Amino acid sequence: MKIALIGLGSVGRGVAEMITKKDLGLNITGLADSKSGAMDPNGLDIFALLTHKKKNGYCGDPDISTLDIIKKADYDALVEVTPTNALSGEPAIGYIKAALARKKHVVTSNKGPIALANKELRAMAGKKGVSLRYEATVAGAIPIMHTLEHGLAGNEILALYGVLNGTCNYILTRMAAEGLTYEQALMEAREMGYAEADPTYDVKGIDAAIKLVILANTIWGNGVTLKDVDCTGIDLLTPDALQLAEEEGCTIRLIAEAIPRKHILRVSPRIIEKTHPLVFDGTLNALTLETDMAKEITLIGRGAGSVETASAIIGDLLYIKDRYDGRA
Amino acid sequence: MKLEMKDSPGQLVAALKPISDVGGNIIAVIHQREPGSDHDTLDVQIVLELPEGRLEKLIVLLKEQGVHIQRIGEQRLLYKRTVILIGHLMHTDLSDTVDQIDSTGFAEVSELAMSMPAVKDRSSSRLTIKSVTREDMEAALAILRRVSQQKSLLLIEPLEESA
């Protein structure tokens, strides 16, 4: 199956390297970063292009744009891994629409388009008879979408609880373990490369809320948006509060929670027993689903990382390949 | 409550029925034959929840069934939840915050632990709230949410999973 890859940041590089390294029946025929593009219907020399990017800061021909690749390259599935814009979703929404219009499958890790335009994009994909998949948007390597779609098919999902932001989990872990203040733990997270220069999205709970919106729309199709999430971050927590929780055998974690029956859709720091499956140290992510037949299921894994996120994207691509190859 | 009844078929069911008749909820039935006891009677311990004011009626109904009540232990506030409040707790009148719960009559703050750093810094406290029923607890937490918002306090609730 032929792949056009848009975006060569950490995730894009991971996808390119894994597709090249592993024999998966995937062939990259189009590649674009923010400054240039390259295409070849017989497959690109990915190693040469990545080396070129490392040396010169761009991968291909500066005269070929991202949209040129999407509109003209010969491919079956678009992998859209450009940076997230949570406010407008652009330019990624435009990229995805352009590929769907050509009846190309789309796989994305980009939360913006899926949180803002999931319904419209899914409808468009349905009309064109192609697939739109976004496993990588929520909880990195954890196959939550596959689990919902296949493993738990036929189950009614009654509620979900998750630790969906590794940065917050790391900060809370360090505050509890070492008695650090929020500011000290944040600084440490930055030094470790776990927090962005501007950590607002993470620590205010917005990143977790966007993921919650994607999950809620996927599971219940209820059309909720970021504005519907009751969102409280971790930036006002004190080490004393964690100590007070500790005295009761508990700790504090940032929990994203959706219970449609009770009209609950919120992200907030919560007191939680230390023996609870959603309590673990470091930057991992986890999700507990409550269902009518399977009852509780908890998935824990890496929520970020180049190759980890590539795992989710390649899972989506191979699903499409299995389902459509030969028909497309 | 601990009950003594005749050890014959149907007696246990007959003793349990009045509990549901008065709107009670049976939490546990412990029924153990003491070795060496005579076999005419049976001792049964029942843990149950009753709405306020129904106990007298239950006692009458049980006596009518020929059940002897040996002991009743009452615990009024069954539900317990712990929350943490962070903010300028003293400047925003902590005793008023606590009183907003206590004055409901159906819930009360039963324990309070507090840590106060420097005067200008935000303090943190842990409150244990007890209530008669689950609904009362929800109502108490709703009050606390409102008060926290008014006083710009951060309220951290426990994770309660129940779908």
Burial class from Cβ neighbours inside 10 Å (0-12, 13-18, 19+) for residue A207 reads buried
CB atoms within 10 A of CB A301: 17
- In the block, tokens 């990017």 appear at A53
pLDDT at B92 over 70: yes
DSSP per-residue codes, A133-181? E-GGGSSTT--HHHIIIIITTTPPEEEEEEE--HHHHHHHHHHHHH---
Instruction: Give, rounded to a whole angstrom, the gap between the first and last alpha carbons of chain B.
Output: 31
User: Which backbone phi and psi does A2 adopt, to 5 degrees?
Assistant: -90, 135
Residues B55 and B124 grouped into a single domain: no
| Nearest CA-CA partner of B154 in B97, B88, B107, B96 | B88
| Nearest CA-CA partner of B123 in A327, A60, A129, A240 | A240
Nearest by CB: B156 against A158, A161, A252: A252
Residues B83 and B37 grouped into a single domain: no
Contact A219/A157 with Cβ under 8 angstroms? yes
Residues B6 and B52 grouped into a single domain: yes
Task: Tell me whether residue B38 is in a domain.
Answer: yes
- In the block, tokens 């449609």 appear at A260
> Do the Cβ atoms of A255 and B86 come within 8 Å?
no
- Domain hosting B8: range is 2-71
Residues B37 and B97 grouped into a single domain: no
Mutation pick from A219, A238, A266 vs chain B, by most beta carbons of B within 10 Å, is A238
Asked if B144 is an interface residue toward chain A (Cβ–Cβ < 8 A), one would say: no
pLDDT at B9 over 90: no
Q: Per residue in B105-139, pLDDT tens?
A: 889 999 999 988 887 889 999 999 998 778 889 99
Residues B57 and B10 grouped into a single domain: yes
Q: Which amino acid is at A122?
A: R
Residues written for chain B? 163
- In the block, tokens 């349990």 appear at B16
Residues B23 and B91 grouped into a single domain: no
Contact A102/A28 with Cβ under 8 angstroms? no
Q: Tell me the pLDDT band of B73, cut-offs 50, 70 and 90.
A: confident
Q: What is the pLDDT of residue A267?
A: 98
Q: Which of B44, B71, B98 is a domain's end point?
A: B71
Q: What is the pLDDT of residue B59?
A: 87
Q: What is the pLDDT of residue B36?
A: 61
Our CA-based measurement puts residue B162 at a distance from the nearest CA of chain A, in whole angstroms, of: 8
Residues B88 and B148 grouped into a single domain: yes
Q: Which of B19, B37, B71 is a domain's end point?
A: B71
Asked if A272 is an interface residue toward chain B (Cβ–Cβ < 8 A), one would say: yes
B-proximal residues of A, 70-129, CB under 8 Å: none
What letter does residue A61 receive in the DSSP assignment?
A: B
Residues B50 and B114 grouped into a single domain: no
d(CA A164, CA A231): 13
Contact A35/A82 with Cβ under 8 angstroms? no
3-state secondary structure of B105: coil
Asked if B16 is an interface residue toward chain A (Cβ–Cβ < 8 A), one would say: no
Third-level CATH fold of A148-302? Dihydrodipicolinate Reductase; domain 2 (3.30.360)
Farthest CA pair distance, chain B: 71
Our CA-based measurement puts residue B9 at a distance from the nearest CA of chain A, in whole angstroms, of: 37
Q: What is the pLDDT of residue A328?
A: 45
Q: What is the pLDDT of residue A326?
A: 58
Q: Tell me the pLDDT band of B34, cut-offs 50, 70 and 90.
A: low
Asked if A255 is an interface residue toward chain B (Cβ–Cβ < 8 A), one would say: yes
Q: What is the pLDDT of residue B39?
A: 64
Contact B88/B123 with Cβ under 8 angstroms? yes
Task: Tell me whether residue B163 is in a domain.
Answer: no
Supply B122's token pair: 């935000």
Our CA-based measurement puts residue A181 at a distance from the nearest CA of chain B, in whole angstroms, of: 12
Comparing B152 with B7, the larger pLDDT belongs to B152
Residues B20 and B67 grouped into a single domain: yes
Residues B9 and B55 grouped into a single domain: yes
Query: Which residues make up the CATH 3.30.360.10 domain(s) of chain A?
Result: 148-302
> Do the Cβ atoms of A159 and B161 come within 8 Å?
yes
Question: Residue B30's beta-bridge partner residues?
Answer: B45
Supply A125's token pair: 């994909």
The catalytic residue among A211, A262, A295, A321 is A211
pLDDT at B37 over 70: no
Question: Tens digit of pLDDT per residue, chain A (328 long)?
Answer: 999 999 999 999 999 999 999 999 999 999 999 999 999 999 999 999 999 999 999 999 999 999 999 999 999 999 999 998 888 999 999 999 999 999 999 999 999 999 999 999 999 999 999 999 999 999 999 999 999 999 999 999 999 999 999 999 999 999 999 999 999 999 999 999 898 888 999 999 999 999 999 999 999 999 999 999 999 999 999 999 999 999 999 999 999 999 999 999 999 999 999 999 999 999 999 999 999 999 999 999 999 999 999 999 999 999 999 998 754 4
Our CA-based measurement puts residue B96 at a distance from the nearest CA of chain A, in whole angstroms, of: 21
d(CA B84, CA A245): 8
Residues B33 and B84 grouped into a single domain: no
Query: Which residues make up the CATH 3.40.50.720 domain(s) of chain A?
Result: 2-141+306-324
Q: Which pairing describes strands A77-80 and A105-108: parallel, antiparallel, or unpaired?
A: parallel
| Nearest CA-CA partner of B28 in B10, B8, B44, B9 | B44
CATH number, domain at B21? 3.30.70.260
The total number of structural domains in chain B stands at 2
Third-level CATH fold of A2-141+306-324? Rossmann fold (3.40.50)
Task: Tell me whether residue B162 is in a domain.
Answer: no
Comparing A40 with B34, the larger pLDDT belongs to A40
Q: Which of B71, B99, B124 is a domain's end point?
A: B71
Residues B65 and B85 grouped into a single domain: no
Could you tell me the CA-to-CA distances from A316 to A157, A262, A323, B62, B129 in Å, in that order? 22, 32, 11, 65, 48
* Beta carbons within 8 Å of A311's beta carbon, 6+ residues apart: A18, A141
Q: What is the pLDDT of residue B163?
A: 40
